[in-house]
Amino acid sequence: MGMTQAASIQFPRIAPCGDSALVVELSDEIDEATNQRVVALAEALAQRAISGIVETVPTYRSLLVIYDPCVVRGRGLSALLLDLLAQDLSSSTTARQLTVPVHYGGEVGLDLDELAEMKQMTRLELIALHSAAQYRVYMIGFAPGFAYLGGLPEQLHTPRLAVPRQRIEASAIGIGGKQASINSVPGPSGWRFIGRTPLKLFDPSRSEPFLLRAGDRIRFRSINLEEAAHLDAAVACGKTVEEWEAL
């Protein structure tokens, strides 16, 4: 697509995604205001319980709307979505903030010392900077419950590894470019990892399998090995150890 053609795209833009989904693009920029509109649109659709909509998936700047074409047609759904977007959408869900305990370093925090050296910081300085920021959950994706976080301090922006590792454990705390993350399940990754949390982002045995949702806020809290072991044992027994606050 040429530059002139790309510049002519008007938002919101609705495009088919296969024969049973639409993608609603709200911007070509990634920012908090756009992401909040994405979350608000998803909530508005959930509140209206529109017949035929199967699922919505918020992303950084767009919403995937999956529907049953035997119940609702894409053209009619597109018109409905445009009508909704013409309204003053605002999130009706109470904003949530979760304090995430992190044991920095250790077997999972493979890149902590190298990152500190790259940034010309001590370990403690890097941990203090990382844990002082407030992060926004922009989207859940890649793997069940995987959280993409915005708000990483600029000093910690770091390119991903040239060669991904084949296995990173669940609950690892990562940095990839301008983003931060929390792993949800074990798997390969090219992100750089600085620690782990005892919290489980994905647990299919819970009534709500996903701990986080788009729009949540995150703060990290540094914990020692003893507290990490205590929380690991509590989580393994099915106890709720999350520290939620209403914003």
**What pLDDT score was predicted for residue 152?**
98
In percent, how much of the chain has pLDDT > 90? 87
Structural domain count of the chain: 2
**What pLDDT score was predicted for residue 129?**
98
- Residues 130-167 have pLDDT tens digits of 999 999 999 999 999 999 999 999 999 999 999 999 99
Q: In this structure, are 143 and 173 located in the same domain?
A: yes
Q: In this structure, are 102 and 81 located in the same domain?
A: no
Q: Is residue 239 part of a domain?
A: yes
CATH of the domain at 181: 2.40.100.10
Q: In this structure, are 242 and 172 located in the same domain?
A: yes
Domain enclosing residue 158, as ranges: 96-246
CATH of the domain at 69: 3.30.1360.40
Q: In this structure, are 100 and 80 located in the same domain?
A: no
**What pLDDT score was predicted for residue 75?**
93
- Residues 207-225 have pLDDT tens digits of 999 999 999 999 999 999 9
Q: Residue 12, preceding bond cis, omega within 30 degrees?
A: yes
C-alpha–C-alpha distance, residues 39 and 154, integer Å: 25
Taking 50 as the threshold, does the pLDDT of residue 1 lie above it?
no
Rg (CA), the chain: 20
Comparing CA positions, the residue from 17, 18, 28, 20 lying closest to residue 62 is 28
Mean pLDDT of the chain: 93
- Residues 16-28 have pLDDT tens digits of 999 999 999 999 9
**What pLDDT score was predicted for residue 8?**
67
Q: In this structure, are 116 and 203 located in the same domain?
A: yes
- Residues 84-122 have pLDDT tens digits of 999 887 766 677 999 999 999 999 999 999 999 999 999
